Amino acid sequence: MTAWANALTSPACAFTPGSLGASSFAMHDSVGALPTREATFAAFAEHVSRGKVAVFEKYELDLVMGERSGCHFEDAFDQRRFLNCHSNGGVFNLGHRHPGVIDAVKRALDHVDIGNHHLVSAHRAALARRLSSTTKGLSGVVFGVSGGESIDLAIKVGRAVTGRRGVISVQGGYHGHTGLALAAGDGQYRDPFGPNLPGFQQVRFGDLGAMEQALGDDTALVLLEAIPATLGMPIPPQGYLAGVAALCQERGALLVIDEVQTGLGRTGRMWGHEHDGIEPDMIVVGKGLSGGIYPITATLMRPELHRFFDEHPFVHVSTFGGSEVGCAAAQAVLDVVEAPGFLAGVRALGERFRAELAGAPFELRQRGLFMGLAFPFEGGGMLATKLLFDRGVFALYANNDTRVLQLLPPLILSDAEAQGLIATLREVFG
């Protein structure tokens, strides 16, 4: 164990319950905001989640988000400034309140609202066509509001089209908290609610033999993240995803890739699965498509699958899915990500982190700016979360592998911000 890790037991960094200090600063310009940190935490505990407040107090993460812009945000009560390297799993790929997204939404609000999900929409049609153009033949698009909703839709379509019921995912994966998405995820999120739904099974990530054994005549689809974030961001072994794709094709199952965190440039390419040279039957996109401003997600699929809705046009509806205001936000996001040089810039930043963090006391799991810092002991990612928090860097550990810290800075990170972050990582971890 490295010297910095001994901080786990030192009084200065001990993870013990502590009182959350009051502040004389009031939260400005926030409608309905409470006047003090103590009042905010008390109201949150009473009405939203007492359990979360207990955890935050235990680990002395006394944070209430206040002003935010670009790659940073401030605490609402004492103006501590944080570099956001969690980015809410990719929601803030373009930072906070990106001016292009803000402007697009403001202009849209002069003319539209959420629209009517029953009717034909020029805004949804234009966004769907544009999303489709970023893929190889996934011309059908169904919009949603959350990643879990869009995963649910992918599973429903897979079962309907194949006539099969089986769904294979990986142990420790995460696809959301709604019904079918929850059934495909890690047991800790669903076990408190009773037994899992029939037809779902999980295998170890990266084990092609286990996948081959599990994939049977009743398998409708295999659901995988391009890189499983909550599992600790393990990079797929060489040939693994291609092998899974070949097995699916051979046995008549569909391959669904969850790109909610890895999509929209996070890995240095538009879609994370492009690194592995595969062409899935469906992909799910979310989080970053919102620009951090208006929730919108989508399930993209091959035309043969999308034709299911020709005969069943109202079998799946989402009142807020593909909101016309959300379409404006998503179009602005694509304007940025598809701009010449943007993805090359993400790749260059990723290489810079790789080079300058060489020799650090962790394994760097990385594609582009999708980075995981894997420490050689349990809880290493949790400790790293606290140590960086105390130095103004907000990042969170991987919940299903606490050795790993997820490092997801905004894709718009400047050279100076990148260098400052690298310097902080070097200072903290050696």
- Of 28 and 136, more confident: 136
Give the rounded distance of the alpha carbon of 110 from its chain centre: 30
Decide: 253 and 219 in contact? Cβ < 8 Å.
yes
Q: Is residue 92 a part of any domain in this protein?
A: yes
Q: What mean pLDDT do residues 398-421 have?
A: 97
Final residue belonging to a domain, choices 283, 313, 337: 337
CATH number where 146 lies: 3.40.640.10
Average pLDDT estimate for 120-129: 98
User: pLDDT at residue 131 above 50?
Assistant: yes
Q: Does residue 242 lie in a domain region?
A: yes
Within-domain flag for 75 = yes
- Distance CA(71)–CA(339), nearest Å, equals 19
Residue 32 sits in the same domain as residue 67:
yes
Instruction: Give the pLDDT mean for 242-260.
Output: 98
* CA 206 to chain CA mean position, Å: 20
Dump pLDDT digits (tens) for 283-295. 999 999 999 999 9
The whole-number pLDDT of residue 382 equals 96
**Cβ contacts of residue 257 below 8 Å, gap of 6+?**
224, 225, 226, 271, 272, 273, 278, 280, 282, 283, 284
Residue 215 forms beta bridges with which residues? none
* Final residue before a domain boundary, out of 276, 309, 337: 337
Answer whether 320's CB lies under 8 Å from 114's CB: yes
Place of tokens 């606490």: 402
Q: 279 and 197: one domain?
A: yes
Last residue of a domain, one of 322, 337, 352: 337
Residue 23: pLDDT above 90? no
Per-residue tokens: 267? 């890995």
E runs forming strands in 184-236: 200-203, 219-225
Banded pLDDT at 88 (limits 50, 70, 90): very high
* Within-domain flag for 353: yes
CA torsion 225→227→229→232, rounded to 10°?
Answer: 130
The pLDDT assigned to 79 comes to: 85
- Bridge partners (DSSP) of residue 363 are 374
The rounded mean pLDDT for the chain is: 93
Is there a single domain that holds both residue 293 and residue 388?
no
- Do 68 and 208 lie in a common domain? no
Q: Percent helix, strand, coil in the chain (nearest 5)?
A: 40, 15, 45
Residue 356 scores a pLDDT above 90: yes
Average pLDDT (347-374) is: 98
Q: How confident is the model at residue 4 (pLDDT cuts 50, 70, 90)?
A: low
Q: Is residue 104, in this structure, part of any structural domain at all?
A: no
Place of tokens 């769904």: 167
CA 372 to chain centroid, in Å, comes to 13
Residues 40 and 162 in one domain: no
Whether residues 348 and 332 fall in one domain: no
Residues 290 and 354 in one domain: no
CB 333 within 8 A of CB 94: yes
User: Do 208 and 75 fall within a single domain?
Assistant: no
What confidence score (pLDDT) does residue 1 get? 44
187 domain residue, yes or no: yes
Task: Read off the pLDDT band of 430 (50, 70, 90).
Answer: confident
Domain check: are 356 and 293 in the same one? Answer: no
Judge if 238 and 91 occupy the same domain.
Answer: no
pLDDT band at 167 (very low <50, low <70, confident <90, very high): very high
Handedness of CA 192, 193, 199, 205 (dihedral sign): negative
> Is pLDDT above 90 for 31?
no
**Helices (H), ranges, 122-146:** 122-133
Mean pLDDT of 373-381: 97
Number of structural domains (the chain) is: 2
pTM of the complete model: 0.93
Together in a domain, 136 and 65: no
Domain containing 386 equals: 3-97+343-429
The dihedral sign for the CA sequence 118, 119, 122, 125: positive
- pLDDT, mean of residues 329-345: 98
Percentage of residues in the chain with pLDDT exceeding 90?
90
Looking at the structure, tell me whether residues 211 and 331 fall in a common domain. yes
Six-digit token string for 81: 């400034």
Residue 376 domain-assigned?
yes
103: in domain: no
The domain that contains 19 carries what CATH number? 3.90.1150.10
Task: With a cut of 90, say whether residue 84 has pLDDT above it.
Answer: yes
